[in-house]
Amino acid sequence: MGDLPWPTDIDPRVEELVTEVIGRVADKWTMVVLDVLAEHGELRFSRLAALSDGISQKMLTQTVRAMERDGLVVRTVHPVVPPRVEYRLTDLGISLAQAFCGVWLWAAANLERIHASRDAFDSRILP
């Protein structure tokens, strides 16, 4: 085994950093926001909230700030009243969205297998 199509001989120090970055970035809301911004381009806060189904204002602010810090989105504040703030992906954010595309497609393609497996597992252990 170990013959998967990617390098396995990575510096463990780098591996640790990568794990940390993935843990940060592979969060539910980050992926949703990433997806929404990838599909719709630049969006204002309230529109982004409406499109990110189920997110709370607090979580959206938090998510989008962390993404800005990581260089995934740019946040443009227009000094007007009422406030107008626009969010869009950076090149880095777009490249991450493309990387996640594989996971997204995998999930879509295997939805039924996963649910079938869950049902089988549950009826195996519960009466």
Partner DNA sequence: ACCCATAGTATCCTTTCGGTAAGTACCGAA
Partner DNA sequence: TTCGGTACTTACCGAAAGGATACTATGGGT
| Amino acid code (one letter) for 73 | V
User: Which range binds DNA by CB under 7 A, 4-12, 82-90, 96-104, 105-113?
Assistant: 82-90
* Angle at the Cα of 112 from the Cα atoms of 124 and 95, rounded to 5 degrees: 125
CA distance 62 to 72: 14
Residues 40, 69, 84, 118: which binds DNA (CB under 7 A)?
Answer: 84
Three-class SS state of 80: coil
Does the footprint of DNA cover residue 71 (CB under 7 A)? no
User: Which range binds its own copies by CB under 8 A, 34-42, 56-64, 79-87?
Assistant: 34-42
How far, in whole angstroms, is CA 115 from its chain's centroid?
Answer: 22
Does the footprint of DNA cover residue 56 (CB under 7 A)? yes
CA distance 80 to 42: 18
Does the footprint of its own copies cover residue 25 (CB under 8 A)? yes
> Which residues contact its own copies by CB under 8 A?
1-2, 4-6, 8, 10, 14, 16-19, 21-23, 25-28, 31-32, 38-42, 53, 68-71, 92, 94-108, 110-111, 113-114, 116-118, 121-122
